């Protein structure tokens, strides 16, 4: 589980960063398509939760352009009754711009990729390896304050 979290953090930071050449280089292959199932369940204080769905990733230019689509259903049941929440989202990252689409709310958001701007010029493969070794910075209270840079 800890390895999965580290991998997700590395991928997320990689998606937000640029290499020194100015070209984002998130993956070691030029283009690809990955589709996988989402499945999980939990019982927390008498509330049953279950998630099922599918996630799809399409990328080109070594990840500089990528599209992620997620379709999932979350069910909760307990003392408050039964609730089902369906979501269908899509995120397009094209260099320094991110577009997020929420099909349930019929909402599209366009934003600047702040992480790419903030960490621009960083070799993400090397930075990801360093993060896996060193982890997060901690403040004097032991709280995580951000990535170890």
Residue-wise pLDDT tens digits, 34-44: 999 999 999 98
Residue 149 located in a structural domain = no
- In which band, very low, low, confident or very high, does the pLDDT at 6 lie, cut at 50, 70 and 90? very low
Residue 113 located in a structural domain = yes
Whether pTM exceeds 0.95 = no
Residue 145 located in a structural domain = no
Residue 147 located in a structural domain = no
pLDDT at 14 over 90: no
Residue 123 located in a structural domain = yes
Count how many domains the chain has.
1
Residue 101 located in a structural domain = yes
Q: List the domain range (segments joined by +) for residue 37.
A: 2-135
Residue 83 located in a structural domain = yes
Lookup: tokens for 141: 């209270």
Cα separation, 24 vs 115, in Å, equals 12
């Amino acid at each position: 589980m800890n390895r999965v979290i580290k991998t997700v953090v590395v991928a997320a930071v990689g998606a937000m960063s640029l290499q020194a050449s100015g070209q984002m280089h998130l993956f070691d292959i030029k283009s690809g398509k990955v589709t996988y199932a989402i499945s999980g369940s939990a019982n927390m204080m008498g509330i049953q939760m279950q998630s099922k769905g599918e996630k799809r990733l399409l990328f080109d230019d070594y990840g500089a352009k990528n599209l992620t689509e997620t379709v999932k259903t979350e069910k909760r049941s307990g003392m408050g009754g039964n609730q089902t929440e369906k979501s269908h989202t899509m995120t397009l990252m094209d260099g320094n711009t991110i577009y997020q689409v929420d099909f349930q709310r019929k909402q599209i958001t366009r934003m600047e990729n702040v992480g790419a701007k903030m960490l621009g010029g960083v070799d993400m493969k090397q930075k990801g390896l360093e993060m896996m070794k060193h982890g997060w910075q901690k403040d004097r209270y032991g709280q995580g304050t951000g990535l170890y840079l």
